[in-house]
């Protein structure tokens, strides 16, 4: 092969190296979905593309000997043709269909020091000796060193003018078991400088043959077709084959077609009747190899990528669409979460208690120093018997569990917990429903549902802990509102004195009622809200405080706090689930990776 020459008009690009990593990840991650279907042209082209990209730097930076890949369907005589080309009976031949299941290379006239590229070309296969190849271990390949002959050999002329090269005997591509040993065949196809397609008169028209010609055509590498086992009058078969080449194989251009007669002594290993056949085949191969160069090879790799690019990326784009749908589901449920909070707490006349708590905090601030504390102490002493009786009565009643501990924090925490449980149920049900649908994103949705089931308890625990911290933040907001109202009063000393006096009078009335009833009267339960309402009216009317504005501002701050809380404790955790998905059928390539790969392909094409 020729050494690559970098054009003086175009700067070198790292796009091929990045594309190698991208296609390799795409092939590996989508192997169960995109690879292994030997009936699908584009899906089998994906591991082929990964292999040719992986091989590209080697062929451009080394003087690797020419690589000749002998390929074909079952019982076409591939191993026989390998022996014919090598001039030696080295490839094992069998009349059994599917006998060859490993890639086996025969290095003609070069030594072991020139084989450094082998390990890179077969990264997933183990190199063993030919004697150690076993049908029970398919992830292997073998190489044998064969000396060249200068003079006549078993097949006519010598092989010196063909050397140095490697001739590869490969498994068939059309049997039911071909899927199992496809990696060896695809790796050989990736490094080949010339394809030698061996067919028989029974097999040349098979669909699998022409699908493989269509698969390899974008690579733009030379092709030689050998029609084996032909009777003496072979004109009809050859003419039919060439006609099909003009229609189905037109992308190959002119393809030489050679024939090998059907002679029993060839199959039996007696090569006396092959005089001239081997020389003709070697001569045709030498002529075909002259057309290979690195520029054509790189162009062929780009053509293969472009031919199947959209098909390969269709599952990736479908995953991205599914993830966008997941994001929309999260956003919708988060909006429902916030709407529930506003409706069932902030706007609910009975449940919303934050501003009432702020007003109570303000009433505490309005107590006259030393007097308010004394009144409160006397009231607690007087009502102690009633409170003890009430506690004893409650202990005799059956305990009713109201849920997790955060429910005890008040109505706001209870509503947020219930809204979170509803959100989790909806997302789990929706992911399971989409996973049951027969489409290409079902594996992603199933993995989503499974991940949710496994992590919901931990997510609820983290939500509970965050809710406790949120409740403490709300309490600080309540105190801040009370302090703000009190500071406004301090700017009006007369109003402050009037409110303190009214507060003391109300507390004194409550104390007299407690003395009279011993803290046992039901009127005490009526007096507390009445006193609260009276104090509020005093602060709103007599003191002139803007209570409604303060209440509105507190609600807005609470709503903003819960919106931020939902972003951290609802949206972010569920969004992180999509980023961590792994499993069979999930490709997991991000939109950024895809965008970079498409830019790399365009850059490589522009630099050619």
| d(C-alpha 329, C-alpha 336), whole Å | 10
pLDDT score for 527: 43
What pLDDT, in 10s, does the model give residues 342-351? 999 999 888 8
**Half-sphere exposure (CA, 13 Å, Cβ side) for 349?**
0
264 and 366 together in one domain:
no
Q: Which of 257, 292, 327 is the endpoint of a domain?
A: 292
What pLDDT, in 10s, does the model give residues 380-391? 544 444 444 435
What pLDDT, in 10s, does the model give residues 391-426? 554 454 444 334 445 556 788 999 999 999 999 999
| d(C-alpha 301, C-alpha 500), whole Å | 88
In this prediction, residue 365 has a pLDDT band, given cuts at 50, 70 and 90, of: confident
327 and 279 together in one domain:
no
328 and 423 together in one domain:
yes
Q: Among candidates 79, 115, 75, 81, which has minimal Cα distance to 95?
A: 75
Q: What is the CA radius of gyration of the chain?
A: 42
Q: Is the dihedral of CA 202, 205, 207, 212 positive or negative?
A: positive
281 and 325 together in one domain:
no
In a domain, 305, yes or no: no
276 and 415 together in one domain:
no
For residue 126, pLDDT beyond 60: yes
Average pLDDT over residues 526-546: 50
In a domain, 42, yes or no: no
Global pTM exceeds 0.85? no
Contact (CB, 8 A) for 263 and 242: no
The domain tally of the chain equals 2
In this prediction, residue 269 has a pLDDT band, given cuts at 50, 70 and 90, of: low
For residue 332, pLDDT beyond 80: yes
What pLDDT, in 10s, does the model give residues 430-479? 999 999 988 889 989 999 999 999 999 999 999 999 999 998 888 888 88
Alpha helix ranges (H) inside 491-546: 493-517, 523-537
In a domain, 49, yes or no: no
Q: What residue numbers bound the domain in which 491 lies?
A: 316-382+405-603
> Across the chain, which distance is largest between two alpha carbons, in Å?
132
Average pLDDT over residues 503-519: 53
Q: How far apart are the first and last CA of the chain?
A: 19
Tell me, what DSSP letter sits at residue 140?
E
For the chain, give the percent of residues with pLDDT over 70: 74
In a domain, 55, yes or no: no
Burial class (CB in 10 A: 0-12, 13-18, 19+), 206: middle
Q: Among candidates 435, 433, 451, which has minimal Cα distance to 443?
A: 435
Q: Which of 260, 292, 324 is the endpoint of a domain?
A: 292
Average pLDDT over residues 157-170: 84
For residue 196, pLDDT beyond 60: yes
94: Cβ–Cβ under 8 A, 6 or more apart, which residues?
A: 79
171 and 218 together in one domain:
yes
Give the residue, 487 or 72, on which the prediction is more confident: 72
255 and 369 together in one domain:
no
Q: Which of 231-235, 408-412, 492-496, 530-534 has the lowest mean pLDDT?
A: 530-534
CATH number of the domain that residue 82 is part of: 3.40.50.300
What pLDDT, in 10s, does the model give residues 110-119? 776 667 788 8
In a domain, 550, yes or no: yes
Burial class (CB in 10 A: 0-12, 13-18, 19+), 471: middle
For residue 428, pLDDT beyond 60: yes
């Amino acid at each position: 092969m020729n050494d690559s020459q970098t054009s003086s008009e175009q700067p070198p690009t790292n796009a091929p190296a990045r594309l190698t990593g991208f296609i390799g990840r795409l092939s590996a991650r989508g192997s169960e979905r995109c690879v292994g279907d030997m009936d699908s042209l584009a899906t089998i082209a994906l591991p082929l593309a990964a292999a040719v990209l992986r091989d590209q730097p080697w062929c451009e930076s080394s003087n690797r000997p020419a690589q000749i890949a002998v390929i074909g369907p079952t019982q076409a005589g591939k191993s026989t043709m390998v022996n014919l080309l090598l001039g030696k009976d080295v490839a094992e031949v069998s009349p059994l269909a599917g006998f060859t299941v490993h890639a086996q290379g025969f290095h003609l006239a070069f030594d072991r020091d020139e084989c450094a590229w082998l390990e890179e070309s077969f990264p997933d296969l183990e190199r063993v000796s030919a004697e150690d190849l076993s049908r029970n271990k398919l992830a292997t390949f073998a190489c044998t060193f064969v000396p060249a002959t200068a003079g006549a050999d078993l097949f006519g002329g010598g092989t010196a003018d063909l050397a140095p090269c490697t001739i590869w005997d490969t498994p068939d591509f059309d049997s039911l078991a071909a899927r199992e040993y496809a990696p060896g065949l695809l790796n050989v196809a990736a490094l080949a400088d010339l394809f030698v397609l061996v067919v028989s008169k029974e097999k040349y028209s098979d669909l699998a043959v022409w699908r493989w010609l269509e698969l390899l055509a974008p690579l733009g590498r030379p092709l030689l077709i050998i029609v084996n086992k032909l009777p003496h009058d072979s004109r009809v078969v050859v003419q039919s084959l060439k006609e099909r080449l003009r229609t189905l194989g037109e992308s190959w251009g002119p393809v030489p077609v050679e024939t090998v007669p059907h002679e029993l002594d060839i199959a039996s290993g007696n090569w006396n009747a092959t005089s001239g056949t081997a020389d003709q085949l070697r001569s045709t191969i030498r002529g075909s190899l002259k057309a290979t160069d690195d520029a054509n090879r790189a162009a062929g790799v780009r053509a293969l990528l472009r031919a199947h690019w959209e098909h390969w990326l269709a599952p990736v784009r479908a995953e991205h669409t599914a993830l966008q749908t997941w994001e929309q589901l999260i956003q919708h449920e988060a909006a429902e979460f916030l709407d529930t909070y506003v409706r069932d707490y902030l706007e609910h006349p009975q449940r919303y208690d934050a501003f009432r708590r702020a007003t109570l905090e303000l009433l505490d601030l309005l107590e006259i120093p030393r007097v308010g504390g004394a009144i409160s102490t006397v009231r607690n002493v007087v009502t102690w018997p009633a409170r003890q009786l009430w506690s004893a009565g409650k202990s005799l009643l059956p305990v009713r569990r109201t849920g997790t501990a955060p429910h005890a924090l008040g109505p706001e925490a209870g509503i947020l917990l219930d809204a979170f449980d509803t959100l989790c149920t909806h997302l789990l049900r929706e992911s399971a429903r989409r996973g049951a649908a027969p489409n290409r994103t079902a594996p992603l949705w199933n993995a989503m549902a499974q991940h949710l089931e496994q992590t919901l308890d931990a997510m609820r625990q983290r939500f509970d802990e965050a809710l406790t911290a949120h409740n403490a933040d709300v309490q600080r907001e309540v105190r801040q509102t009370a302090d703000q109202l009190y500071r406004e009063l301090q700017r009006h000393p007369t109003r402050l004195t009037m409110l303190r006096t009214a507060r003391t009078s109300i507390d004194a009335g409550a104390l007299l009622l407690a003395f009279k009833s011993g803290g046992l009267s039901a009127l005490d339960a009526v007096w507390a809200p009445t006193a609260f309402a009276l104090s509020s009216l005093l602060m709103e009317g007599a003191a002139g405080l803007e209570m409604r504005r303060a209440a509105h501002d507190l609600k807005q701050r609470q709503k903003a706090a819960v919106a931020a809380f939902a972003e951290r404790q609802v949206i972010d955790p569920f969004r992180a689930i999509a980023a961590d998905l792994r499993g069979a059928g999930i490709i997991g390539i991000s939109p950024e990776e895809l965008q970079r790969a498409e830019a790399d392909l365009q850059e490589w094409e522009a630099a050619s």
